[in-house]
């Protein structure tokens, strides 16, 4: 049976923090063998990240270890967005097939026949941590989506440093300063969950003119004209949300008869051209896709996380053992006005404090059966004690 534990240390010493968090996780799991451990440290520990990883590895003796340095960490019902901290998540996964990997950009560039990339064939889920300065996450996800349709990749963009070479990506006994690390996991009950938490604005419109990432027309009219029409029809509260940042929601699965929460891929609006009426967004689009404007919203994010988790747990019809969470660094106390929002909500929904993770500069997870890099989401890998119903 799957068993999971998570623990936090705020110790200023890297080695002591790794040891303390690992010890607490070990106490929760007793003498159970640990098949996968994850360690996430804040940037204060970056210069000695290997000491953190070594302490966790020596105490827990996990079959595999995965981790990185991040802007903030999650453990149990706590989120630490400032100051030194280490989060350790440990899982006993009987029967699990786990394969670790490290990728670099040159490997991806030279992968003409696909043989250089990890084999994801037997995986139920792939956990992925990416350094944004040295590795093109979008390119890897496009390749994985094509070769392994429906396979969820879950993880995040790790912002441990401020430039190339200023990161610590941990996989087993290695610490890398660039690229991407991850593990494939098969043979255990696990589900991917993506909670976006954006409020829809106005109505859906079909893209009738497009060029790369530029939306030229929506429903036969200039896109900017449609946007202004949408803004003019908003309520006072919706206008307030719109001033905080507009997003373009693109429908991923056009085969559905109606679109609801979770059917849209959220992308930033990068700019607009007054003369042509075109709008540039952070995603390539094509004619025939459906677009709806959205806005970031704490109330919607709170409700969406609760509903998404409830639906995932109902689908599983199994007891949750724990979760890895990859939450956006634009959420946290700055978005919700209170600390620990996502961590406490997830722990409450699972009735378990076995929640570990990090704050990301982009979260990786599936929408419409394909994995993308998102923004302002909370993305999870939910592990269950028994086999969930699909």
pLDDT of 111: 57
Distance CA 196, CA 302 (A): 10
**Cβ-contact 360, 79 below 8 angstroms:** no
Distance CA 93, CA 384 (A): 10
pLDDT of 380: 98
Query: What tokens appear for 305 in the block?
Result: 């996380």
**Cβ-contact 295, 201 below 8 angstroms:** yes
**Cβ-contact 375, 363 below 8 angstroms:** yes
Q: Which residues does 35 contact at the CB level (< 8 Å), separation at least 6?
A: 62, 63, 64, 91, 92, 93, 94, 96, 98
C-alpha distance from residue 68 to each of 9, 103, 278, 383 (Å): 15, 14, 40, 21
pLDDT of 21: 98
pLDDT digits (tens, 9 = 90+) for 163-203: 888 899 999 999 999 999 999 999 999 999 999 889 999 99
Helix, coil or strand: residue 188: coil
pLDDT of 390: 43
pLDDT of 109: 65
Distance CA 381, CA 123 (A): 13
**Cβ-contact 205, 291 below 8 angstroms:** yes
Where the chain has pLDDT below 50, the residues are: 388-390
DSSP-derived pairing of the beta strands 214-218 and 198-211: antiparallel
pLDDT of 388: 46
Record the pTM.
Answer: 0.92
Instruction: Name the CA radius of gyration of the chain, rounded.
Output: 21
Distance CA 345, CA 306 (A): 7
Helix, coil or strand: residue 58: helix
pLDDT of 254: 80
DSSP letter (8 states) at residue 44: G
Q: Which residues does 308 contact at the CB level (< 8 Å), separation at least 6?
A: 193, 194, 195, 261, 262
Q: What is the Cα 255 distance to its own chain's centre? A: 25
DSSP string, 218-242: ETTEEHHHHHHHHHHT--HHHHHHH
């Amino acid at each position: 049976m799957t068993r999971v534990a998570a623990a936090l240390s705020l110790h200023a010493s890297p080695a002591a923090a790794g040891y303390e968090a690992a010890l607490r996780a070990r106490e929760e799991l007793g003498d159970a063998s640990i098949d996968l451990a994850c360690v996430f440290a804040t940037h204060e520990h970056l210069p000695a990240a290997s000491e953190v990883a070594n302490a966790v590895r020596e105490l827990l003796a996990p079959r595999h270890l995965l981790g990185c340095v991040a802007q903030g960490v999650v453990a149990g019902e706590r989120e630490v967005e400032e100051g030194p901290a280490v989060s350790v998540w440990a899982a006993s996964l009987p029967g699990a097939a786990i394969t670790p990997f490290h990728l670099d950009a040159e490997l991806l560039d030279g992968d003409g026949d696909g043989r250089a990339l990890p084999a994801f064939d037997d995986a139920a889920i792939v956990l992925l941590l990416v350094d944004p300065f040295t590795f093109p996450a979008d390119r890897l996800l496009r390749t994985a989506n094509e070769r392994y349709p429906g396979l969820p990749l879950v993880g995040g963009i790790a912002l441990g440093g401020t430039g190339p070479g200023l990161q610590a990506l941990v996989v087993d006994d290695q610490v890398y300063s660039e690229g991407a690390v991850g593990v494939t996991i098969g043979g255990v009950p696990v589900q991917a969950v993506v909670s976006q938490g954006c409020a829809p604005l106005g109505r859906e419109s079909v893209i009738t003119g497009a060029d790369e990432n530029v939306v030229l027309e929506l429903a036969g009219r200039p896109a900017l004209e449609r946007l202004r029409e949408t803004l003019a029809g908003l309520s006072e509260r919706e206008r307030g949300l719109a001033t905080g940042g507009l997003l373009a929601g693109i429908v991923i699965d056009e085969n559905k008869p109606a679109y609801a929460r979770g059917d849209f891929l959220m992308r930033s609006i990068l700019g607009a051209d007054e003369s042509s009426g075109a709008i540039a967004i952070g995603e390539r689009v094509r004619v025939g896709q459906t677009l709806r404007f959205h806005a970031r919203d704490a109330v919607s994010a709170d409700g969406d996380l609760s509903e998404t988790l409830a639906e995932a747990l109902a689908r599983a019809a199994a007891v949750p053992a724990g979760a890895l969470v990859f939450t956006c660094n634009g959420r946290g106390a700055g978005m919700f006005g209170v600390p620990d929002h996502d961590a406490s909500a997830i722990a409450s929904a699972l009735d378990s404090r076995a929640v570990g993770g990090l704050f990301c500069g982009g979260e990786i997870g599936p929408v419409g059966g394909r994995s993308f890099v998102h923004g302002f989401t909370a993305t999870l890998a939910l592990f269950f004690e028994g086999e969930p119903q699909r």
